[in-house]
Structure 1
Amino acid sequence: MIKLSRLFWKLFLAFWLATTLTFFVGIAFVILSKSKPGDPHLDTILASEIHLLEEFGVESGMQLLTVWRHPDDQAIGVYDSNEQLLAGSPVLHPVFERTVISKEGIELSLRSTRAPGGPNGGGPGGGTGMGEGPGLMPLIIGTVMSALFSGYMAFYLTWPLAFLRRAMSDVAQGRFGTRVKPMMGGRRDEIVDLAEDCDRMANQLKLLVDAQQSLLHDISHELRSPLTRMQAAIGLLHQDPARTEMVGRIERESVRMDTLIEALLTLARVQGRPDSIERESVDILELLTLIVEDAQFEAGIKDSRVVLQACPPFVSRVSGELLYRCFENVIRNAVRYTQPGSVVRVVAEMNLACTRLRVRITDHGPGVEEQRLQRIFQPFERGASEPGSGFGLGLAIALRAVEMHGGTISAYNQASGGLTVEINLPRQS
């Protein structure tokens, strides 16, 4: 079922007010065009003027008095609180006067040179003209018909935009197979042309993303084969003690290359569709505990510590492998950059409804330049002072993994020094 948007209501009200105002002015013009000088229709004009002022405002009241061909001895004028004539003709000696509050909230004075009431009897809003009886039916029918017409026109213009918005949201989440034109039916207009362009855009994006992922996989697998042979050769060279130093260097480079290939494969996988990952029920706090225990060994080398401040268990249906890689990359980065002898704090908190988990990892390192705080989550982004500290893929993998689970990740510097990376994850059922 399509939810009625703000655009629908704006178009509906615009169409309805326009058609209703046109209808009322048209009815008044027809009645007034049949009036002859001396006919007792003053009460009808007064009633119509009061209605237009209260329901549609001063502008509508001015239109009615502009088209009214009044007799020489009949005049109607609308004055404001400053005795300024806003509509109609000047009334120097009013016989009839009534205070009216317009739709805009302005207090007006409606004056006439003759008192309402004649052979047909009644007064403004009384038993004449459009006041009661059969004369009320055209107003009701016209208002209802204009509402139906306005609703149809507003719906006709907005429902394809709702499909377009839903399709673009799917494309933004990586579901490139979404197509909009089949939902339009037999419609033929510029909106359908826009839908065709959106479909072509989604198809082109799918081709580009597939080509990128295919390239990453091909490069990674092509590098794996010579790497495997290199590692086998290293094993043979280890048997020659004279070449131990060179073998160690080759071995370190091969391990570095293997790490890069593994990171590229992971990045290619997390850049795919969110619904393609396998999920299982995982206690994220238990996951964090394991990562902190492993990181404690690396931190102990530089006489530092990793401290976990945990909340109650937070079980969610997620990809445990991807989230493990996400938290591990962030915590290991914090351990790498924190000052010797300092403490890396990992704080996990739940909101009051227990529907979201917030994890903050804070180190005591040099921090990050303000202009780089957003770029550090991009692939291969490294600072000028840290060219050999990694490949710049760890935080990029963390960002993609968190986004695939509907969460957010951000980084900010601490006033006392150091960097905090904050990860927010919703509970997935």
Structure 2
Amino acid sequence: MMRRRLFWKLFLAFWLANTLTFLVGAGAFMLNDLRGDTPALRSLLATELQLLQRYGEQAGRQLLEVLPQPPDVQVGLYDSQGRLLAGRAVSVARFEQALSDRDGRPLVLRASVATTIGEPPRPRGMGPLFTGTLMSALFALLCSLYLTRPLAWLREAMGQVAQGRFEVRVKPRLGKRRDEIVELAEDCDRMAGQLKALVQAQQNLLHDISHELRSPLTRMHAAIGLMRQQPDRLDMLERVERESRRMDDLIEQLLTLARAQSRQGDDFASLDVVELLAQIVEDARFEAGMKQCQVCLQAQGTFITHGHEELLYRAFENIIRNAVRYTAAGTEVLVEAALAPGGQWLQVSVSDHGPGVEPARLQRIFEPFDRGTDNDGDGFGLGLAIAQRAVALHGGSITALAAASGGLRVRIELPQANPG
């Protein structure tokens, strides 16, 4: 119904504009005919007046006698007493002008147009008027269809997307058309693709969450069953407590991931990223000392950005702790922070001496629950996913590269806070 209303609005607007334009032009043309004003008559009168004023009566009489007049044109030259001097007798004058020739003699120039000599001009038929109206209607129809048909396709595609069919695309139906509607169709197709990827990611996330929760629950149920059979097995209580803490950690990380994806800036404030890194490195050195490795920070000055302190702390902490976890014993985890050229961005890189990551997996390590070949570890594969979402929330970027030392290098870029 909406498409039809838009179609008829456009159709009537185009048709009315074209019809009015045609009627104005046709009306002016028909009015000239009714007044006896034609191009042939105007040209003959202009020439006659010019000859009379420059060369006198004799030149004007010769023009009317020598120059053949069109059959529907009547031009006559009269003296002051009304006697015909040259040309044709004009019964009903549509044009009459009194003038004096070069010698000062008074003359009268009369003219008219008629289909038959002595008869007044007859108006033209209504055929051209109907033809012009129909042609304007056809033009309005084509213009309206040209504008509303792609909108109908977009509406149909959005209806299918609303029903969960994200594979629908509109741009291929538009052919070689190049205008703003095509750009709108590209945006709609891109939106459908992103919605499909988002829904698929959410489904995968729910599947992974259920899998991660099922494992500790299964172990807890087994421990409870053993306790019922053997009440003196107090070690099962420790097992239940350990699994409950593991589930609590998982839920806390999921909440952090959801908060990083919410894209809300209500809790944003100005903070010093270099000072934040110094706190995290200081805490990470204790964990690194247990495996006889070091964490070194190379940064100078301050860098103020506008962000969420807790999310940024979790992001950098997850990256640095991940590097400490995988770096080889006796090696160093290097955290570097430096201003990019221009001073508007801060580049932070964290490099380790671990086994590294295959080039094909460098992008997948930021996906939730991706732990690579380390499926038996204590982590859930959410640390780097939280870091990526948190950095993206602050308008930055995060990438994983192969470090020169043979391990993994994670590079983060954050923008400076706006002065306003």
TM-score (norm 2): 0.47
